[in-house]
Structure 1
Amino acid sequence: MSGCCVFPVIIMIAFMSGSVESELRLSRQGLSDNKLTEGLHGFRVKRGWIWNQLSVEEEDPTPKIIGQLKSTYDTGEFAIRYILSGEGAGEIFKIDEFSGEIHIHKSLDREKKAFYMLHAEAIDRRTGHPVEPESEFIIKVQDINDNAPQFINEPYTSSIPEMSPMGTTVVQVTAIDADDPMFGNNAKLIYSILQGEPYFSVEPKTGIIVTSWPNIDREASEKYLVVIQVKDMLGSTGGYSATATVTITLTDVNDNGPTFQHNLYTFAIVESAPVGTTVGSVMAEDADVGVNARMNYTLDDLEESATFRVQTDPATQEGIVILARPLDYESKRRFVIAIEAINSFVDTRFLSINEFRDRTMLKILVMDVDEPPVFSAPFYEWKILENALVGTLVGTVYARDPDAANNSIRFFISNNIELKNIFRIDANNGTVSLVKPLDRETAAWQNLTVIAKEMSKSQLSSVSVVIKVLDANDNIPTLYRDYQPYVCEGTQAGEVIQVISAVDADDPAEGHHFYFSMVPDKNINPNFTIRDNQDNTAGILTRRSTFTRSDRILYHLPVVITDSGSPALSSTTTFTISVCVCQSRGHCPSSGMEALALSMQALLGLSICLITVIVLALLMVAVWRHRTVQQQKLAIQELDTEEYSQKIVHYSESEGIPDAASSSHLVPLRPHPHRRKHTFCREEVVASVRLSLCHSHLIGPEDEVFRQFMIDRLAAADQDPCVPPFDCLHTYAFEGTGSLAGSLSSLESSNFDPYFNRPHDPGPGFLRLSRWQGDNDYETSF
């Protein structure tokens, strides 16, 4: 070519296993800086790396040269040293530093690593400087068919309704291959069916399984096992393959109706079977399952079918025939009934409406049994008056033998001796009569048990007989309670002092009605009368005024009470009416139970008081004795010969006021013991006679009891060596009952008891003892 300068380019040819052509690959810097430069000879190309595309086949264990690196600066004098680095450098891949040839020393697996990234350098041996910049290149691992395909998502199961049309998708199976899908046909897969034809097929490329048979029947086979095979290399010879099993289940649809296996079912039942007895069971078969096999049974609406009923057992789907009415062999011995079974759920896509039902016949035979007698009624209820005469017919029971033999019946009352003494039954005709009088007030109802027994057999039955005893007026009326009427002294004429009522043991149908009146053959009572209130009560009224106890305390009033029976009966009651000094509001404390209650309360109170007095007296005696002993010991030590003159002043009573001048004389007294400081010797005064309020009405100053009491007290004082008189005054006075003068003691003016440090006024009817000793005064009352 004219006008152009051509530079030679050195091309290194590398031999590659299985490669026919070689390609030239320039480095990233190869021609990027090409440019036109001015010179004597025209254009110049920049030097760079020269190598071919490198690749190696996997699974090849033979060491070999897979390529060569070459720099355009390499003149063939081994002035350049080649260096290899990167993935697998030195271990898998090695380079000849002089020639740049790359050697492989190990077998590679593409499925583990598909390529390796390496770096190449060219160094000038003389200068040690790189003559080429470091460059990156790739060694590709070439795929071979060394992996078999594998199914994923196993195991495969699916279900479809039976009777599904052809072409219905069942399930899709999927397989994968680890080989390179971009290199040849190593990973190209194809599916085929090994087992499951002619009912199912598979699409070769997608692995979708579809039905290939019309209306597959579940009742023929419910489960299918379909085997699918997958091959790589599009199924060509030498490829790998794998299989998977798909379990396909057909779900049920209602494509079958119930069917009875027999045209006639025969059962037998005894006539004595109770209502609710199971006669037998029938069952229609249905090839379907679940809800599609559920069914209901019905009996034809015939007259005979009313004796029986049928119900479906939900667990077994059987039709249970049950007795609905009592049977009678003598009336009907055989029943023929039609029974029908029909599906509960009907799907007309597969069958017509009539194909979901079936029917058959039932024959039920009634078996004869020896039955007991049958009464004409389940129970009997009779009525009879309580005053009915002995031998009166009460009623009749009827019974018969229900069997065809029609045996004779005999009657008798059950083993109740008490009832047998009152009633009697005719064994032949069942009539019941009275053999003992009745009393409604004792027993208003009589309950019998009548037994009927066949003559020639032991069969028997019983029936209850209830007899109501009707009332007769055979009891007289009486008072409702025990009345105790009284009349107050100030009662006026015409006042009601008592309301009375009556009762009667009888029970008339129209209820009780009582009439109250005076005794007709007696003279008119001038004091009291009876007023009938017309409501089964009456009032006792006064006929005069000014009742006083001084005139008369008790009155008697006879009253007649008559009932409304037929014939009417009456009774006469005499009331005792007492005259009472009534309190406010007409209350009479001495009448009836109130007087008794008051008297009991008074008696109880007096008893408590008496017990209290006795206990206090015993305590006082004990204390007095103890202190007397102590005082005597002290008094003996203090006695001396000094004598004092003492005197007793006698008082006479004049209208309750003592007269000191009326009668007095001096009496020599005992010597006075020596007085010591803080020493006081006294006597505990104990009354030997306790005068109560009641006794004070009977005992006076002239009474022997009183005089003896005074003598005893004086003697006790004179003989006591440790008690006054020590210049003291003894006062013994009797105040009587209700004295207006009050106390006769020397302390009366103050009405104060200095000894007990309290006001003292014992009241009338008490004996008062007063003592004086120096500056200390005290008194004791009895």
Structure 2
Amino acid sequence: MDGCSVLPMVTMISIMTGLMGSGVTVSKQRPSQSQLTEGPHAPQLRAKRGWIWNQLFVEEEDPTPKIIGQLKSNYDTGDFTIRYILTGEGAGEVFTIDEYSGEIHTLKGLDREEKAFYVLRAQAIDRRTDQPVEPESEFIIKVQDINDNAPQFINEPYVSSIPEMSPVGTTVVQVTATDADDPMFGNNAKLIYSIVQGEPYFSVEPKTGIIVTSWPNMDRETSEKYLVVVQVKDMLGFTGGYSATTTVTITLTDVNDNGPMFQHNLYTFGIAESAPVGTTVGRVMAKDADVGVNAIMNYSLVGLEENATFRVQTDPVTQEGIVTLAKPLDYESKKRFAITIEATNDYVDTQFLSIHESSDRTKLTILVTDVDEPPIFSAPYYEWKVLENVPVGTEVGTVYAKDTDAANNSIRYSITKGTELKKAFKIDPNDGTVSVAKPLDRETAAWQNLTVTAKEMKENQLSSSVSVFIKVLDINDNIPTLSRDYRPYVCEGTQAGEVIQIISAVDADEPVEGHHFYFSMVPDKHINPNFTIRDNQDNTAGILTRRSTFTRHDRTMYHLPVVTVDSGSPALSSTSTLTISICACQPAGHCPTGGVEALALSMVVSMQVLLGLSVCFVLLVVLSLLMLAIWRHRKLQQQKLAAQELDAEDYSEKVLHYAETNSAEDATCPIQPVPLRPHPRRRERGLRREEVAASIRMSLRHSHLIGPEDEVFQQFIMDRLAEADSDPYAPPFDCLHTYTFEGTGSLSGSLSSLESLTFDPCMDQPRDPGPCFLRLTPWQGTVDDETSF
């Protein structure tokens, strides 16, 4: 170490020692290399510069500007060559610095509660070079506290509760106050608590603010709520401090320290002997000074007899004991009841109340008053049984009623309501014996419900009624029958031994052990070669085939008698005949719609339908002929007049064309024009009525068997066309011959040209239907429809 660096180090040590001894703060920051080389003593290469200033503190709430400290660099020789600069929190607003002396001044009063200290930075600048002679240093100005804030309670309002009878020292609640002053500076924020109101029942711990009980066995029933005023002071309660108060609401909660107590030692009630069960006799009340669950009580009756005749229960709202009637009363048997009622707390806390103190008793007298009562039956209802085949006059049972009053009037019985207005049974009015009045049938009514009335013959003629239930017992008087109308069928490919139908039976009877039916064939010398019956022993049977050669061509249906026997005693039986049809089934074995059933139905009704349609058709033809005759007569008159005017002038030939241009088939099938014929001479009609009738009979006979390709249909069309073309009596008018055939399979068997595939006048051979089918070249003139059907 050379001599140039020893002197600055010695100087720095001595300055720091002096500052630490005098309480002066010294900056520990090192100047940068540029700061060392740029200062006025740069060639000396000083490694450290020291700041010198007094301890900086300022008291709050002092509005007078004053000097609070001074900043000074050890390079300051007093020639004002150093300029001091102050920056940071409050610089220029709260604090200012004398740039020549380094003195720091306050500009306004400070509030420690608003800001407790300020962090500032100071610089020392050489005025000649405008370069810092010291590194920028940071320092703190502290604001000293004064007692300028009063304590305040937090978390207000204070509400608390404790059980009554709590021991002394029980903690109630803790109150808390705060002071904005500095707790680390003097006694400004040191608080102490005291009771202003609430003694001697409560006290407060001075330092913690915890309120405790100070009075033993406080009773809620005496005083339920307390208002305690607590005061807090700062400065430990010394003179010159601030204070504040708060109110604490303390409620005593209830404990079960009181038992129930009746207000009266005796209660008296009256009730009529006719009162129904459940009638309220009266109410009793035991008071309990407690509240809530501690005041809930239960009432009970003391004594077995009274407990059976009467009941008592607690009203949950009023806590009263409600005495009700538990069973009917009889004035003639007992006129007075003496009852003891006990009220007991539902919840007992033995810490405050003994078992003996938790209940109380009172006496209750109930007087029964006499009432003229109606007769009373010996039973609430009667239930009897009787066989359905018993003869008329058989006794079923007897009802009995008695007048329980002292008069004991005689009784008359009658059936006032029952099945079929009491016709099935009758009753002896004197002794109440019920007997059968007409034959019974269990299948019609299995139960007979009667209402029997007993009426007093004297006094007020009071009456009462009772229900009588009569069960009609079953006997085996109904034959078994099949459960439904079975329609079995056999597919043509069915093999021998296959089940074609499962059958079951029903019986209107109701045996005790349930139904059991037996199925069999009708006894015969010969065995049925086609079918057999197999009893499944479960009230069902199967119909089985015995051969495999069933065809519709041989036979369409078979009849199979089935014998059904029940298990009654004596056993009854019935015979039902099943109609088994032969069907051309689908591959899955299903008989298609219109198969067996349609065939059977058509065989039954086809003759009737055809007969009806034939009659309608004949009537229609007759009417048509009559109208045709009238129209023809008028037409002949018109033709005579036209013949005189024309004088045998021939009609010019004109051609009318009919074609459908939208059909491709018309291009290959052109319609040939037909010339008009001259009007022929009048002569008799060539078509006889016998031929028309024969044609109609032929149509009816074959209509349901022919189709568009059938020869009969084609021949019929050709014959009608030939007749129309060769009829010399038809006038030379346009005519359209229309023949109707509704198609094959129709029950009516009518004819129609629609949908027929028989004749094409364009190609003279059968073909598919199209726009060229049966086109006729019409005659020019008025339409003549005399040959249309």
The alignment's TM-score, normalised by the length of structure 1, stands at 0.52
Q: Secondary structure at the match of 2:293?
A: helix
Output the CA distance in 2 between the equivalents of 1:76 and 1:466: 137
Q: Which residue is 1:684 aligned to?
A: 687
Please tell me whether the aligned partners of residues 371 and 459 of structure 1 are also in contact (alpha carbons under 8 angstroms): no
2:68 is aligned with what amino acid? I
2:312 is aligned with what amino acid? V
Shift of 1:626: 6.0
Instruction: Tell me the matched-pair count.
Output: 497
Are residue 166 (structure 1) and residue 168 (structure 2) matched?
A: yes
CA-based RMSD: 5.6
Q: Which residue is 2:456 aligned to?
A: 452
Q: Which residue is 2:343 aligned to?
A: 341
Q: Which residue is 1:209 aligned to?
A: 211
Q: Which residue is 1:314 aligned to?
A: 316
Shift of 1:301: 2.7
Shift of 1:232: 1.4
Identity within the alignment, %: 62
Output the CA distance in 2 between the equivalents of 1:448 and 1:132: 130
Output the CA distance in 2 between the equivalents of 1:9 and 1:612: 151
Q: Cα gap change, 1:446/1:179 in structure 2, threshold over 3 Å: closer, same or farther?
A: closer
Q: Secondary structure at the match of 1:276?
A: coil
Q: Cα gap change, 1:94/1:459 in structure 2, threshold over 3 Å: closer, same or farther?
A: same
Output the CA distance in 1 between the equivalents of 2:383 and 2:52: 136
Please tell me whether the aligned partners of residues 169 and 214 of structure 2 are also in contact (alpha carbons under 8 angstroms): yes
Shift of 1:329: 3.0
Q: Which residue is 1:612 aligned to?
A: 617
Output the CA distance in 2 between the equivalents of 1:31 and 1:723: 151
Q: Cα gap change, 1:466/1:27 in structure 2, threshold over 3 Å: closer, same or farther?
A: closer
1:194 is aligned with what amino acid? V
Q: Secondary structure at the match of 2:262?
A: coil
Output the CA distance in 1 between the equivalents of 2:80 and 2:467: 145
Output the CA distance in 1 between the equivalents of 2:166 and 2:266: 37
* Pairing 1:64-103 to 2, within 5 Å after superposition: 64-103=66-105
2:236 is aligned with what amino acid? L
Q: Which residue is 1:766 aligned to?
A: none
Q: Which residue is 1:531 aligned to?
A: none
1:338 is aligned with what amino acid? T
1:57 is aligned with what amino acid? E
Q: Which residue is 2:202 aligned to?
A: 200
Q: Secondary structure at the match of 2:261?
A: coil
Output the CA distance in 2 between the equivalents of 1:247 and 1:409: 79
Q: Which residue is 2:712 aligned to?
A: none
Within the candidate set 143, 166, 171, 2:145 is matched to 143
Output the CA distance in 1 between the equivalents of 2:53 and 2:288: 82
* Pairing 1:180-579 to 2, within 5 Å after superposition: 180-371=182-373, 400=403, 402-403=405-406, 406=407, 440=438, 451-454=455-458, 458=460, 460-461=462-463
Please tell me whether the aligned partners of residues 29 and 48 of structure 1 are also in contact (alpha carbons under 8 angstroms): no
Q: Cα gap change, 1:387/1:284 in structure 2, threshold over 3 Å: closer, same or farther?
A: closer
Q: Cα gap change, 1:723/1:269 in structure 2, threshold over 3 Å: closer, same or farther?
A: closer
Q: Secondary structure at the match of 1:355?
A: helix
Please tell me whether the aligned partners of residues 378 and 463 of structure 1 are also in contact (alpha carbons under 8 angstroms): no
Output the CA distance in 1 between the equivalents of 2:324 and 2:215: 47
Q: Secondary structure at the match of 2:323?
A: strand
Please tell me whether the aligned partners of residues 304 and 337 of structure 1 are also in contact (alpha carbons under 8 angstroms): yes
Q: Which residue is 1:118 aligned to?
A: 120
Please tell me whether the aligned partners of residues 373 and 459 of structure 1 are also in contact (alpha carbons under 8 angstroms): no
The alignment's TM-score, normalised by the length of structure 2, stands at 0.51
Please tell me whether the aligned partners of residues 282 and 323 of structure 2 are also in contact (alpha carbons under 8 angstroms): yes
Question: Which structure 1 segments of 5+ residues have no match?
Answer: 12-20, 34-43, 389-393, 469-583, 586-597, 641-674, 693-720, 725-756, 758-782
Q: Which residue is 2:747 aligned to?
A: none
2:333 is aligned with what amino acid? S
Q: Secondary structure at the match of 1:292?
A: helix
**Deviations, residues 46-99 of structure 1 (Å, cap 9, x unaligned):** 874332102111001122222333344444454544433333233322333343
Shift of 1:466: 9.0
Output the CA distance in 2 between the equivalents of 1:91 and 1:53: 21
Q: Which residue is 1:24 aligned to?
A: 24
Q: Cα gap change, 1:625/1:111 in structure 2, threshold over 3 Å: closer, same or farther?
A: same
Q: Secondary structure at the match of 2:618?
A: helix
1:217 is aligned with what amino acid? D
Output the CA distance in 1 between the equivalents of 2:29 and 2:729: 161
Q: Cα gap change, 1:162/1:679 in structure 2, threshold over 3 Å: closer, same or farther?
A: farther
Q: Cα gap change, 1:228/1:462 in structure 2, threshold over 3 Å: closer, same or farther?
A: closer
1:70 is aligned with what amino acid? K
Q: Which residue is 1:580 aligned to?
A: none
Which stretch of structure 1 is more off in the superposition, 363-372 or 307-316?
A: 363-372
Q: Cα gap change, 1:102/1:445 in structure 2, threshold over 3 Å: closer, same or farther?
A: closer
Q: Cα gap change, 1:203/1:723 in structure 2, threshold over 3 Å: closer, same or farther?
A: closer
Shift of 1:686: 1.3
Shift of 1:307: 1.6
Output the CA distance in 1 between the equivalents of 2:604 and 2:24: 153
Q: Cα gap change, 1:266/1:612 in structure 2, threshold over 3 Å: closer, same or farther?
A: same
Q: Cα gap change, 1:603/1:203 in structure 2, threshold over 3 Å: closer, same or farther?
A: closer
Q: Secondary structure at the match of 2:617?
A: helix
Output the CA distance in 2 between the equivalents of 1:186 and 1:235: 10
**Deviations, residues 632-667 of structure 1 (Å, cap 9, x unaligned):** 969989999xxxxxxxxxxxxxxxxxxxxxxxxxxx
Q: Secondary structure at the match of 1:182?
A: coil
Q: Which residue is 1:553 aligned to?
A: none
Please tell me whether the aligned partners of residues 423 and 432 of structure 1 are also in contact (alpha carbons under 8 angstroms): no
* Pairing 1:583-594 to 2, within 5 Å after superposition: none
Shift of 1:305: 3.6
Q: Secondary structure at the match of 1:284?
A: strand
Shift of 1:687: 3.5
Shift of 1:197: 2.9
Q: Secondary structure at the match of 1:612?
A: helix
Q: Which residue is 1:106 aligned to?
A: 108
Output the CA distance in 2 between the equivalents of 1:432 and 1:127: 145
1:25 is aligned with what amino acid? T
Output the CA distance in 1 between the equivalents of 2:680 and 2:371: 122
Shift of 1:207: 2.1
Output the CA distance in 2 between the equivalents of 1:464 and 1:611: 69
Q: Cα gap change, 1:113/1:170 in structure 2, threshold over 3 Å: closer, same or farther?
A: same
Question: Which structure 2 segments of 5+ residues have no match?
Answer: 1-6, 16-20, 34-45, 442-447, 471-578, 581-602, 650-675, 696-726, 731-763, 765-789
Q: Secondary structure at the match of 1:298?
A: strand
Please tell me whether the aligned partners of residues 188 and 233 of structure 1 are also in contact (alpha carbons under 8 angstroms): yes
